[in-house]
Amino acid sequence: MKERLHPLQLSILIMMSQNGLVLYSLPRITADYFGTNGWLSIIFIFVLVNINIMMIAIIYKLGKGRSIFKIIDASVPKWVMVPIYLFIIGVWIGIASMIMREYIFIYKLMFFPALPVLLFIILFTYLCFQLLRGGIYNIAKASVVLFCFVELMILLVPYLFPEFDFARYTTFFFKGETDYLKGSLHVYSAFLGIEVSILFFPMVEKKWTKALFIGNFMSMVIYFGILFLSYGFFSFDQILNDKYPVMTLFEYTEVPFLTRAENLCFSVFAFKVLSTIVIYYWGAQQIFKNIHKKVKPDFWIFIILASGFILALVPDSVVDVEKWLKWLSYCAIGIAWALPIFVLCILFIQILKNLFNKETDHAK
């Protein structure tokens, strides 16, 4: 019997796959683009992401569990889809490699300026290779283990409560210099990664779609908690002027048995970054396999990792990485919405066509 992804594993995989690195600058982003009490914006974006998940769930139900590739190939010639597939592959490899490079840049900037970038990229690439060779089931199992390490950092949060003060909040909502559209795109990027779940259809148990909502809700709880804590810990101006407020937040953590808590937190956060990178690489591999099914999976893994490795060497600074990530995130958000809508349109056409054929046969 073919192994299937368990809903619990899937929930954790979804949560670990979402681009959590945005979390470190999320308080500043919400304050910068949404103004005072900008932390509330995460609720509206969460609703949008759930609508996106709902579309994936509808595709699974209407398509009766068929792979999206089978749904598309039944109505659209493959040569038409190949350029679109290659675009999606390029965006997913690009965003994975830039997330990797941003993490390395921040690590160097904050803790180890002498850290050799190449060595770190090689380490990430090697770990990705090992996980990709194991397939999605082993990736899911590894994510559960990595999740346990990452979520232990929540135990440090109570040590921040003594400095928390409700007086730092304001009665004004979304006041100041705001740009809701750009802000929404930036905040939405924190939930990116979940769109790859549209490729899970042949690998999951029935009634798996609840796991998507649960995984997304888990991410939301963490984002909401950190945002709420940050706005009560810092003044509004402090948040605006701090590039990584969450890093600063953990610098204030006073734990008797631990020095430099922010160093430990960010080091452990590498596991979440690894999960995000791997799921994007895995998604690219699945599309490659659909384009040319006769090629061995290891060949596509090599092509993907080599491309990601080269791309990760391109940016020279954090500013360059942020520019790359901004445009790649815009593209990824477009894919997250356009692909389900496209597949839904195909499904509706197929359903209408089948109904018409049944009526024609009945008339005969």
Q: Which residues make beta-bridge pairs with 255?
A: 258
pLDDT in tens, 39-58: 889 999 999 999 999 999 99
Closest CA to 286 of 118, 105, 70: 70
Contacts of 226 (CB under 8 A, 6+ apart): 23, 26, 27, 246, 249
| Most confident listed range (111-115, 227-231, 335-339) | 335-339
Task: Specify which residues 5 forms β-bridges with.
Answer: 204
pLDDT for 51: 95
Q: In which region does residue 341 sit, left (phi positive, over 0), alpha (psi from -120 to 50) or beta (all else)?
A: alpha
The partner residues of 204 in beta bridges, in order of sequence, read 5
3-class secondary-structure state, position 294: coil
**CB distance 34 to 178 below 8 Å:** yes
Residue 1's pLDDT band, with cuts at 50, 70 and 90, is very low
Q: What is the pLDDT of residue 363?
A: 60
Q: How far apart are the first and last CA of the chain?
A: 42
In the predicted model, is pLDDT for residue 346 greater than 90?
A: yes
Q: Tally the residues of the chain.
A: 364
Tell me if residue 132 falls in helix, strand or coil: helix
DSSP letter for 177, please: S
At residue 248, the pLDDT reads 85
User: Both tokens of residue 119?
Assistant: 């060595």
Q: Going from the N-terminus, what domains does the chain have, and what CATH number goes with each?
A: 7-363 (1.20.1740.10)
Average pLDDT in the chain: 87
Minimum mean pLDDT among 73-77, 229-233, 348-352, 358-362: which range? Answer: 358-362
Q: What pTM value is reported for the model? A: 0.93
Whether 359 shows a pLDDT value over 70: the answer reads no
Question: Does residue 102 register a pLDDT over 70?
Answer: yes
